[in-house]
Structure 1
Amino acid sequence: MAKITKDMIIGDVINENPDLIQVFFQNGMMCIGCPASQGESIGQAAQVHGLDGDHLVNALNAALDA
């Protein structure tokens, strides 16, 4: 998978790499199974949930690189 960005759809990221679900959970994004996650970008979801989107994206990319 290419580098993850805030513009990517959560469902697409998870479908391509299901192991990243744990990274979402660890960073406070517990609604991965929510229907909105299938069409919502990482940046949008982070904003709605009061999370730091840049921190989340960095954590996701770090997990991909590991």
Structure 2
Amino acid sequence: MAEQYVTGETLVGEVVTKYPEAIEILLSIGMHCLGCPASRNESLQDACAVHGIPAEQVIEAINEKIAENK
């Protein structure tokens, strides 16, 4: 398993700010409001639930993408 840079509790805003390489993953799954104040203060877990997407898959993909860029 890849290193855990983000978890379900990590805020979307923190992901976008600290790990811009994750933006393409979030956009590809339909999270297009990454700059909106509401989404920036939402956890990845909650954002995935709103979009009907399994959070575990998204978190794993983001962590793998971040690891590739380290």
Shorter-normalised TM-score: what interval?
0.7 to 0.9
Q: How far 1:36 moved relative to its partner?
A: 1.1
Q: How far 1:23 moved relative to its partner?
A: 1.3
One-letter code of the match for 2:65? Answer: A
Q: How far 1:65 moved relative to its partner?
A: 1.2
Q: How far 1:42 moved relative to its partner?
A: 0.3
Tell me the percent identity.
Answer: 32
Alignment gaps of 5+ in structure 2: none
What CA deviation, in whole Å up to 9, does each residue of 1:42-63 have, x standing for no partner? 0001001111111100110010
- Pairing of 1:1-66 with structure 2 (within 5 A): 3-66=5-68
Q: Distance in 2 between matches of 1:49 and 1:41?
A: 12
Alignment gaps of 5+ in structure 1: none
Displaced runs of 4 or more, over 6 A: none
Q: Distance in 2 between matches of 1:4 and 1:61?
A: 6
TM-score between both structures, scaled by the size of structure 2: 0.81
What CA deviation, in whole Å up to 9, does each residue of 1:9-49 have, x standing for no partner? 01011111212111111233222122212210000010011
TM-score between both structures, scaled by the size of structure 1: 0.85
Q: Which has the larger radius of gyration?
A: 2
Over aligned residue pairs, what C-alpha RMSD do you find? 1.3
